[in-house]
Amino acid sequence: MRKASRWTFAGGGLDLDPLKGPAILGILNATPDSFSDGGRHQDPARALDAALRMIEDGAAVLDVGGESTRPGAAPVSLDDELRRVLPVIEAIRGVTNHPISVDTTKAEVARLALAAGANIVNDVSAFRFEPAGLAHAVAAGAGVVLMHTPARPAEMMAHAGYDDVVADVAAHLVARALHVEAAGVARSAIVLDPGFGFGKGRADNYSLLRKLGFLAAKGYPVLAGVSRKRMIREATGDNPTLVEHGTTAAHMAAMMNGAALLRTHDTAAAVAARAVFRELAAGGLDG
Ligand code: HH2
């Protein structure tokens, strides 16, 4: 069970308070092939409606992405990704200053998304696929989410294989954090993410969830992205309602183990789970 957290985070227009439980990132996939919300947010007006609903639910950040990263997903061209992501960010920025993260591994998408008003770069490669994205994050004073993946989506499952998945992932992420700090990102603007499902098998994913506290003890806020992932469906089966209940159960485990942010599709469900977590946490989590 988690001990008192030692990190602070003030990046990207977002103030996290470890005592209040995690911030909720609402997933706005502007992709036609996402496994979970298949293209529903491609039209900027509909994406904006979804974003406003998520804010009303209690989402602290809107995570806008234009490239599916599910295992084996086809890569998307720069032009296509820009065409998907920028109108959505612009539409949201037209009506609210709410924090926005851009879920991209492309440096140019990061640059233009930040120029359009995004506050955080959520890079599932931790700036390894296109290192130039890091300079854009530094120049914009953006927050960064550094996620672990062993390889690009097309190849990542072939790389699943670890001596000790928890120690390996934590060591990789801390090294990436030190790298981005050296490049000029404030320590207080860095989030680490073990990358559930990215080049990890079922047992790896559940080891990471069970021992998320090991990563949370490294001194950075930790994001957990488990929503509707295969690791959930492996446990619940594919019925969407049951997958949602399974996601909520995994969210509670992540919160109990120190998650500072939850990346999720159903923001209202995550906010409800957090409300229960807060009741538990109010009495102390160590005894
Ligand atoms: N997972 C996905 C995409 N981006 N970013 C972070 N930081 N952490 C994650 O776990 C993560 C992520 C994949 O999930 P989803 O967006 O639902 O699907 P798709 O890849 O099809 O967009």
Tens digit of each residue's pLDDT (9 = 90 or more) over 211-222: 999 999 999 999
Prediction pTM value: 0.93
Say which amino acid occupies 38: G
263 is catalytic: yes
What pLDDT, on a 0 to 100 scale, did the predictor assign at position 43?
A: 79
* Residues sharing a CB contact under 8 Å with residue 280, sequence separation 6 or more, in sequence order: 256
In the predicted model, what is the mean pLDDT of residues 247-258? 96
Judge whether residue 35 has pLDDT over 50: no
229 is catalytic: yes
Q: Are residues 146 and 192 in contact, defined by beta-carbon separation less than 8 angstroms?
A: yes
Tens digit of each residue's pLDDT (9 = 90 or more) over 193-202: 999 999 999 9
pLDDT averaged over the chain? 90
Judge whether residue 5 has pLDDT over 80: no
Judge whether residue 7 has pLDDT over 60: no
Q: Are residues 63 and 99 in contact, defined by beta-carbon separation less than 8 angstroms?
A: no
What pLDDT, on a 0 to 100 scale, did the predictor assign at position 3?
A: 42
Tens digit of each residue's pLDDT (9 = 90 or more) over 265-280: 999 999 999 999 999 9
C-alpha distance from residue 19 to each of 26, 198, 254, 264 (Å) = 21, 29, 15, 20
What pLDDT, on a 0 to 100 scale, did the predictor assign at position 107?
A: 98
How far is the centre of ligand 1, averaged over its atoms, from the C-alpha of 125 (Å)? 11
- If pLDDT is split at 50, 70 and 90, which confidence band does 1 have? very low
Tell me if 195 CB under 6 Å of ligand 1. yes
How far is the centre of ligand 1, averaged over its atoms, from the C-alpha of 29 (Å)? 9
- If pLDDT is split at 50, 70 and 90, which confidence band does 178 have? very high
Tens digit of each residue's pLDDT (9 = 90 or more) over 41-96: 567 888 999 999 999 999 999 999 999 887 777 889 999 999 999 999 999 999 99
- pLDDT exceeding 70 applies to what percent of the chain? 90
Between these two residues, 11 and 145, which has the higher pLDDT value? Answer: 145
Tell me if 31 CB under 6 Å of ligand 1. yes
Q: Are residues 72 and 100 in contact, defined by beta-carbon separation less than 8 angstroms?
A: no
- For ligand 1, atom 18, the nearest C-alpha belongs to 34
What strand order describes the sheet that includes 190-193?
190-193, 143-147, 120-123, 100-103, 61-65, 23-29, 261-264, 223-224
In the block, residue with structure tokens 């488990």: 226
- Backbone φ and ψ of 107, nearest 5°: -60, -40
Tens digit of each residue's pLDDT (9 = 90 or more) over 123-177: 999 999 999 999 999 999 999 999 999 988 888 888 778 999 999 999 999 999 9
How far is the centre of ligand 1, averaged over its atoms, from the C-alpha of 282 (Å)? 31
What pLDDT, on a 0 to 100 scale, did the predictor assign at position 266?
A: 98
Which contacts qualify for 159-162: CB closer than 8 Å, 24 or more apart?
Answer: 159/199, 160/199, 160/200, 160/201, 160/204, 162/204
Mutate to test the pocket of ligand 1, among 61, 64, 103 (most ligand atoms within 8 A of CB): 103
Angle (CA) 200-205-206 rounded to 5° is 155
What pLDDT, on a 0 to 100 scale, did the predictor assign at position 2?
A: 44
What pLDDT, on a 0 to 100 scale, did the predictor assign at position 4?
A: 42
Q: Give one DSSP letter per residue of 39-98, joined into a string.
A: TTT-SHHHHHHHHHHHHHHT-SEEEEE-S--STTPPP--HHHHHHHHHHHHHHHHTT---
How far is the centre of ligand 1, averaged over its atoms, from the C-alpha of 163 (Å)? 25
Q: Are residues 30 and 66 in contact, defined by beta-carbon separation less than 8 angstroms?
A: yes
Say which amino acid occupies 77: S
Cβ-in-10-Å burial (0-12, 13-18, 19+) of 215 comes to buried
Instruction: Tell me the three state secondary structure of residue 152.
Output: coil
In angstroms, the CA 21 to CA 245 distance is 19
SS (H, E, C) 218-273: CCCCEEECCCCCHHHHHHHCCCHHHHHHHHHHHHHHHHHCCCCEEEECCHHHHHHH
